[in-house]
Structure 1
Amino acid sequence: MLKNYYNKFMKFYEIINTLILFVYWILVGLVTLRILMKKKSISSTTSWLLIVYILPIIGILFYIFLSELNVGKKRTSNLYKIWLYGVNWINNIDCNKTIFNNKNSYIATSIFKLCKNIQGIPGTKVHKLKIFTSTNNIIKKLIRDISSAKNNIEIMFYIWQPGGIADKVAEALIIASCQGIHCRLMLDSAGSSIFFRSPWVKIMKDAGIEIVETLKINILKIFLRRIDLRQHRKIIIIDNYITYTGSMNLVDPKLFKRNIGIGEWIDLMVRMEGPIAISIGIIYACDWELETGKKILPNISNKNKISHNKKYLNGVQIIASGPGFSKDIIHQVLLTAIYSATKKINITTPYFVPSDDLLNAICSAAKRGVKVNIIIPYYNDSILVNWVSKYFFTDLLSSGVNIYQFKKGLLHTKSILIDHQLSFVGTANLDMRSLWLNFEITLAIDDSNFSKNLSNIQKEYIKLSKKLKLKKWDKRSYWYKLMERLLFFFHPLL
């Protein structure tokens, strides 16, 4: 009797086991077909195939949740319409001929034309432009601007962490809102999770501040939207005339991630006055409508000031990226700029995981005689990124690229300087996540004085860095090299 039950159980087990294997290999086959059909680079395609085949089940789940660029049907259907509406609005306002620039330097002309043709918004004039490298100085200036606001304040950050000087900004916003200034605040759900669990949410809402939690993490919707998609933009707009953007999150650097032992985060922010705030306002309005369904457009309260102010810089081109925006626009712009360089390229980025095309462009520039300096952190808050970045060092050093490892904290600045004239600053890192996934904002600034200031800042970074030598790098251990190559296959996840 027991033997019969045992035999029946074993047959049932074999059937179930066969079904599971059958379903598993069907899934593997479907995912493999999907990977091959997607227009990805050869290295990315190979890496995903290895992940799927080497890591049973887990590899398939990684691909489903972390590769497909799905932002939800409703969001996808609305994105293009919202952006197109904003572009048409800004191109048809009365003072549009006054706010757009028509002339650029030789190195910037192709970049500005490319962005205009893809995005629909030309380069925009700027009255004042200043770089800040001290978080304390940025916050002090920001609080003064908030206190002087007359009409509206719009703020967007990836991370807002309460405590220290960040609370002073919150207090300034509350005072402004109580004085009748219309204040809006957009924060990423994952990046600002500590903020959304703090008392500040209720306090600020009670003061009349509108707060929106973007890209909320919802386990019930994991099959409807990619869960690691993030709103990574950092934008501040005051009275549609003053605007800030750059790499800084709204945190106190003396408190933020101090437990991981890498020192303070080193950031760069740009403060601008002039019509550029209107163009950036279109990006903010688009993101706001996507999350709330409510349409807002910049109210040009300084129209007369914009129309009659003649002291403008060459111009700034905004580059907005993310799902639903112009596909891989940052990638196209950077490739165009690097291949156009004839003298010098300076790059600072905390996370360096370039595409094959970008790596080839950088190496090609160095080989044709362009001086290329890449400044990255010696210490990094991401162990995986730290290892994967090293995979590219040999090719770069062999091509003549100078690699400097910043040792006085985590260098979080995202900047590129081309031929002492064209500067790129913003929120995008040189990694797959920023180039292809997250919502980012980058500024292309065509101005020699700004570029000179940025160059001086980058020189200071280099002074605080250790230069990597090819001979010494080649002598690293076999196991070190093996680890680099093994972890490189996970670069599509970064």
Structure 2
Amino acid sequence: MEEALYRWLGTPGLIRADILAALGLSVSLAVTLHVLLRKRAVGAAMAWIGLAWLAPFIGSALYLTFGINRVERRARRLKRRPSRQVDDTPQASASVPDAYRPLDRAVQAITGMPMVAGTGITVYRNGDEAYPAMLAAIAEARRSVALSSYIFRDDDTGRTFIAALKEAMDRGCEVRVILDGIGSGYFFPAAWRRLRRLGVPAGLFMHSVLPWRMPFLNLRTHKKLLILDGRIAFTGGVNISDHNRVSRSPTFPIRDTHFRIEGPVVEQLAQAFIVDWAFVSEEELEGEAWLPPLTPAGDIIARVVTSGPDADVEKIATVVLQAIACARTSIRLTTPYFLPNDFVVGALCLAAARGIAVDVVIPTRSDHPIVDWATRAHIDPLLESGVRIWLDAPPFDHSKALVIDGQWCFIGSANWDSRSFRLNFELNLEVYDTGLARRLETFIAEKCEIPLTQADLAARPPARRLRDAAVRLLLPYL
């Protein structure tokens, strides 16, 4: 293709060959300089530089389209506001178990957010439990409703939520909705169109069909967040779709876990939504409708961790690494997609090597076969190190949870893959609570029935192993 482009541009009446060569040299050099100054990952930097020199025009165009993180520049201007938490709200760092004080200090340094006491958490399984609770909370809201979802379908479930949002707005609530520009239906999501027709303020995250803004294909908001009156929040893995109503036997049932959050930590969740809404709409949400004074609603301590290819780059992955390093007895996790980078793989291998029980639960078959193929080619070092990997029987479970030593929990929207750790905008909640930890550990243990072994991997036919290894090369974007 590059050669054909040169021949076409070099035909009489267009551009002389020597001018074309000089132009190609200039753009390749410009890309090289930009990559050297901006790209920290050595492998990515070498790949982009090589492509720019092998195919100056096409390679440079690809770099301009996919290789430059335009999000970071804009996001750094949208700094999270200082906390408005009342001064007498107890800070929870003193209540963190002594063995986890280094972890607490590290996560506070990573996030810039304090650990907060007074949190109440309720757990829901699937949309069957979560949706009625969410809709009831929307019906009870009196001042504000903030909703952000990666997937928001215009099906029966989606239309029920849209009607509830419209009713909230009609009775005087300020309502704001963020839908991901790809996850909710690609170019012009039907749910977004319906919201707009009803006059509900709704924004599409990173949505553009303009070639120079093509990062919208790669950088997604994967958060699932509902906040009512700035006092009650729901977060976790549940999207808004008929597929999550498992009891109704949809064509592809999706099990999941969601959480209702109350107490002062809700302010941190609200701050995360406020920053995202400003990013989408350039509107600043202010006042007690969004950030009211909050009082304790339980005895759990918690902190929000956001991550994305902006000012929060790889914070969730860094917290995961720190938690693994601090583990003393056990690491148990479940995730729908398991393609961690080499740093996380190495940390899990080292944990198993020092005698920590490491259990990882993944689906027998997820909703993305390519991810399943790549996973099989990626996990051999973990099995060699003594990490136990378990296959969760269908139907597909989209839950994500990490429990360390039966005391520390990490819940939210982030999967264990490079897309969630590096590309997506994600939101997790760090929780110290033995009660929640026991519940999540029981939930994970119930899935530990079908082990995935090295013998299983070795038994794959050669063609399948070759396919899996080839797909694994796409790991940074899966």
Local SS of the residue matching 2:226: strand
Match of 2:163, as an amino acid? E
CA distance in 2, matches of 1:203, 1:380: 30
Q: Which residue of 1 aligns with 2:462?
A: 478
Is contact 2:338–2:415 with CA below 8 Å preserved after alignment? yes
Select between 446-455 and 290-299 the one with higher mean Cα deviation.
Answer: 290-299
Match of 1:218, as an amino acid? V
Output one character per residue of 1:262-299: Cα deviation in whole Å (capped at 9) or x when no partner: x4222111111111211111111111122222221462
How far off its partner does 1:162 sit?
1.4
Local SS of the residue matching 1:332: helix
Is contact 1:164–1:255 with CA below 8 Å preserved after alignment? no
Q: Which residue of 1 aligns with 2:140?
A: 148
Local SS of the residue matching 1:236: strand
How far off its partner does 1:348 sit?
1.5
CA distance in 2, matches of 1:136, 1:294: 34
Q: Which residue of 2 aligns with 1:362?
A: 348
Output one character per residue of 1:329-358: Cα deviation in whole Å (capped at 9) or x when no partner: 112111110011111111222222211111
For residue 295 of structure 1, the aligned residue among 280, 284, 301 is: 284
Q: Which residue of 1 aligns with 2:202?
A: 211
Match of 1:322, as an amino acid? G
| Change over 3 Å in CA distance of 1:12–1:212 after alignment to 2 | closer
For residue 328 of structure 1, the aligned residue among 310, 314, 323 is: 314
Select between 170-179 and 31-40 the one with higher mean Cα deviation.
Answer: 31-40
Larger RCO: Structure 1 or Structure 2 (Cα < 8 Å, ≥ 6 residues apart)? 1
Q: Which residue of 1 aligns with 2:68?
A: 68
For residue 263 of structure 2, the aligned residue among 269, 274, 283 is: 274
Q: Which residue of 2 aligns with 1:253?
A: 243
How far off its partner does 1:43 sit?
5.6
Q: How does 1:417-436 map to 2 (within 5 A)?
A: 417-436=403-422
CA distance in 2, matches of 1:387, 1:202: 36
Is contact 2:124–2:257 with CA below 8 Å preserved after alignment? yes
CA distance in 2, matches of 1:475, 1:302: 56
For residue 453 of structure 2, the aligned residue among 469, 488, 492 is: 469
Q: Which residue of 2 aligns with 1:3?
A: none
Is contact 1:387–1:487 with CA below 8 Å preserved after alignment? yes
| Change over 3 Å in CA distance of 1:67–1:171 after alignment to 2 | same
CA distance in 1, matches of 2:83, 2:314: 24
Gaps of 5+ in 2: 1-9
How far off its partner does 1:486 sit?
2.7
1:265 paired with 2:254, answer yes
How far off its partner does 1:454 sit?
0.9
How far off its partner does 1:255 sit?
8.5
How far off its partner does 1:167 sit?
2.1
Task: State TM-score, norm by structure 1.
Answer: 0.83
Match of 1:348, as an amino acid? T
How far off its partner does 1:130 sit?
1.3
CA distance in 1, matches of 2:463, 2:55: 22
Is contact 1:177–1:208 with CA below 8 Å preserved after alignment? no
Is contact 1:99–1:275 with CA below 8 Å preserved after alignment? no
Q: Which residue of 2 aligns with 1:159?
A: 151
| Change over 3 Å in CA distance of 1:323–1:470 after alignment to 2 | closer
CA distance in 2, matches of 1:486, 1:162: 36
Output one character per residue of 1:422-442: Cα deviation in whole Å (capped at 9) or x when no partner: 111111112222112221101
Q: Which residue of 2 aligns with 1:6?
A: none
Q: Which residue of 2 aligns with 1:125?
A: 117
How far off its partner does 1:364 sit?
0.6
Q: Which residue of 1 aligns with 2:333?
A: 347
For residue 137 of structure 1, the aligned residue among 129, 136, 139 is: 129
| Change over 3 Å in CA distance of 1:31–1:485 after alignment to 2 | farther
Is contact 2:65–2:212 with CA below 8 Å preserved after alignment? no
Local SS of the residue matching 1:361: helix
CA distance in 2, matches of 1:107, 1:48: 44
CA distance in 1, matches of 2:263, 2:222: 24
Is contact 1:247–1:426 with CA below 8 Å preserved after alignment? yes
| Change over 3 Å in CA distance of 1:462–1:469 after alignment to 2 | same
For residue 299 of structure 2, the aligned residue among 295, 309, 313 is: 313
Identical-residue share of aligned pairs (%): 24
Match of 1:275, as an amino acid? P
| Change over 3 Å in CA distance of 1:298–1:424 after alignment to 2 | farther
CA distance in 2, matches of 1:416, 1:145: 27
How far off its partner does 1:158 sit?
1.1
Select between 202-211 and 425-434 the one with higher mean Cα deviation.
Answer: 202-211
How far off its partner does 1:35 sit?
5.3
Match of 1:389, as an amino acid? T
Is contact 1:79–1:325 with CA below 8 Å preserved after alignment? no
| Change over 3 Å in CA distance of 1:373–1:44 after alignment to 2 | farther
Output one character per residue of 1:236-270: Cα deviation in whole Å (capped at 9) or x when no partner: 111211101111111111689x9x98x42221111
Is contact 2:119–2:300 with CA below 8 Å preserved after alignment? no
How far off its partner does 1:194 sit?
6.6
Is contact 1:390–1:484 with CA below 8 Å preserved after alignment? yes
Q: Which residue of 1 aligns with 2:177?
A: 185
Is contact 2:127–2:244 with CA below 8 Å preserved after alignment? no
| Change over 3 Å in CA distance of 1:34–1:354 after alignment to 2 | farther
How far off its partner does 1:34 sit?
5.5
| Change over 3 Å in CA distance of 1:41–1:212 after alignment to 2 | closer
Is contact 1:48–1:492 with CA below 8 Å preserved after alignment? no
CA distance in 2, matches of 1:387, 1:106: 42
Match of 1:365, as an amino acid? A
Output one character per residue of 1:35-72: Cα deviation in whole Å (capped at 9) or x when no partner: 56655455656776788799997766554433432227
CA distance in 1, matches of 2:463, 2:20: 37
Output one character per residue of 1:79-124: Cα deviation in whole Å (capped at 9) or x when no partner: 23xx1xx1x243xx4x233153232124543333223233332012
Match of 1:350, as an amino acid? P
Output one character per residue of 1:468-487: Cα deviation in whole Å (capped at 9) or x when no partner: 12223223333333333333
Q: Which residue of 2 aligns with 1:409?
A: 395
Task: State TM-score, norm by structure 2.
Answer: 0.86
